[in-house]
Amino acid sequence: MGALGHFLERQGIATAGISLVREHTETIRPPRALWVTFELGRPLGIPDDPDFQRRVLRAAAELLERTDGPLIADYPENVAEAADFTGWACPINLAPTSVNTLAAEIDRLATWHDQAVARTGRTTIGVSGLDMPAAGALLSSALQGDLPPAQALKEAVDDLRAYYLEAASAFPDPGTPAMRKAWLWDETRFGKALLDLQPKLSASADPQHKILANLTLIPATERHRLAKT
Amino acid sequence: MVKRLGDMPEVEANHLRRIECPTYEDTPALAGKPLRERRIALISTAGLHKRGDRPFRPGDGSYRVIPAETPARDLVMSHISVNFDRTGFQQDHNVAFPIDRLRELVAEGVVGSMASVHYSFMGAFPPAAAEPHAQHLAGLLKQDGVDAALLVPV
């Protein structure tokens, strides 16, 4: 991100950026950066809070008037920690014993995904170009040893991940995003499928499969689960 | 609340520590100009694009074009990393791509005007792969009358 500040400023476009990782910004030294303490993935801080987001964006934009860079300004507001999820339980039973197949699990979530789309007016699915049953079928056939090209598999998996998390956001008792991500890995056939797929990709001779296995399939925070499977 | 890498969960902090950051001998800083006279573009590195555009791939230093009038329902994210939250973007695109907030700052008179086209890279690019694209992009921005960019990471 900070590198773009260097490139564009040299070409005559003034830049100011948001920084999510101060240590990275201190190394790259872009012209102007507003450091925020928000979660990675949420550079404006809080979804559906236009006033908060506008304050952050305005603070970043106001840095454009400064010429004393490289500078890092500390944004003064923080986002409160999400509540602890002790005691939260998924309101519908999607545990692996409740459905026989990944396909059945995907089908069961469809009504909740419809609810989510009705509420937000949008979905972030649509990178792979596949519908969700087809994306699930691709993942299932990969698990059976028929590995598709890494890019197609990655896009299908990312669409499925969005489908599951968007659907879960419409559950009657949706909990917090952290709870829903824990649900995906703890409770779903999809999460188990990803963990089962990882060693197959890792053993592939295709270097793109290895990138997927080692970097872009399982989040760093969930890789501890691999040893258990 | 995340403050510094040392405050993050160890596994997440270690992942971020392993990311290699480029260094530069000097940092250019163009002359200041009042914000209310600026025409501003948003440049995201969240791997955003319109549904149907080419998804990003590992090592991809190119950008995708997001016209200002693009409906939020047409935006998707194909960043290759799985190590950041996507549920915020799923709930409200503005938390990662604050186009409505920029529009409001223009309406309030804080910012002069907004670019007619915005852009997204996919932040896991090697800097050398992105530099030629960024140079080309600077020309496109100037053609649109843009004189400043807000860089929004993910």
- Give tens-digit pLDDT for A130-151: 999 999 999 999 999 999 999 9
With a threshold of 0.90, tell me whether the complex ipTM lies above it. yes
Domain ranges of chain B: 34-152
Selected residue with higher pLDDT from A58 and B18 = A58
What local confidence, expressed as pLDDT, does residue B106 receive?
98
**Across residues A41-54, what is the average pLDDT?**
98
Are A18 and B35 inside 8 Å of each other by CB?
no
A10 touches chain B (CB under 8 A): yes
Residue with tokens 């939260």: A88
Residue of A20, A21, A185 to mutate, testing the B interface (most B Cβ within 10 Å of its Cβ): A21
Residue B128: the pLDDT is 87
Q: What is the pLDDT of residue B8?
A: 84
By mean pLDDT, which of A15-29, A206-220, B22-36, B79-93 is the weakest?
B22-36
Both tokens assigned to B47: 């791997």
Under 8 Å CB-to-CB from A54, ≥6 apart: which residues? B101, B104, B105
| B95-125 tens-digit pLDDT | 999 999 999 999 999 999 999 999 999 998 8
Q: What's the confidence (pLDDT) of residue B32? A: 79
Give the pLDDT score at B33.
86
- Please calculate the CA angle A161-A166-A167 and round it to the nearest 5 degrees: 100
What percent of chain A is modeled with pLDDT above 90? Answer: 86
- pLDDT higher than threshold 70 for residue A87: no
- Asked which of A40-49, A162-171, A209-218, B10-19 is least confident by mean pLDDT, the reply is B10-19
Average the pLDDT over each of A31-40, A69-78, A85-94, B25-34 and give the range with the smallest value: A85-94
**Does the pLDDT at position A85 exceed 60?**
no
Which among A102, A91, A80, A95 has a CA at the least distance from the CA of A169? A91
**Distance between CA atoms of B42 and A15, rounded to whole angstroms?**
10
| pLDDT value at A94 more than 70 | no
- Quick one: pLDDT band at residue A90, thresholds 50, 70, 90? low
Q: Which of B90, B102, B146 has its CB closest to that of A162?
A: B90
Cβ separation A6–B14 shorter than 8 A:
no
Nearest residue, CB atoms, B95 vs list A46, A81, A127: A46
The answer to whether the Cβ–Cβ distance between A3 and B130 falls below 8 Å is: yes
Tokens standing for residue A18: 């948001």
Closest CA–CA distance from residue B67 to any residue of chain A (Å): 18
Whether A89 shows a pLDDT value over 60: the answer reads: yes
Closest among A31, A39, A35 to A8, alpha carbons compared = A31
Pairing of strands B75-77, B148-152: unpaired
Q: Facing residues of A15 across strands?
A: B149
Could you tell me if A191 lies within 8 Å of chain B, comparing CB atoms? no
CB environment B60-83: b (16+ within 10 A), e (fewer): bbbbbebeeebeeeebbbbbbbbb
Greater confidence (A93 vs A100) lies with: A100
Q: How large is the average pLDDT for residues A41-66?
A: 97
Nearest to A162 among B19, B86, B104 (CB): B86
- Counting residues of chain A whose pLDDT is more than 70, the rounded percentage is 91
Q: Is the pLDDT score of B1 beyond 70?
A: no
State pLDDT tens for residues A17-39. Answer: 999 999 999 999 999 999 999 99
**How many Cβ pairs closer than 8 A exist between chain A and B?**
273
Q: Which chain A residues are within 8 Å of B92, Cβ to Cβ? A: 47-48
pLDDT (0 to 100) of residue A60 = 98
Rg of chain A over all Cα atoms, to the nearest angstrom = 21
Task: Check CB contact under 8 Å for A24 and B55.
Answer: no
What angle do the packed helices A102-120 and A189-202 form, to 10 degrees? 120
Provide, rounded to the nearest whole percent, the portion of chain B with pLDDT above 70.
Answer: 99
Nearest to A58 by CA among B36, B118, B4: B36
Average pLDDT over residues B132-154: 97
Q: Which of A191-205, B19-33, B93-107 has the lowest mean pLDDT?
A: B19-33
Region B49-70 average pLDDT = 96
pLDDT band at residue A171 using 50, 70 and 90 as cut-offs: very high
CA separation for the pair B99, B72 (Å, rounded) = 9
Report CB contact under 8 Å: A7, B135: yes
The two tokens of residue B80 are 């290759």
Does residue B63 belong to the interface with chain A, where contact is any CB pair within 8 Å?
no
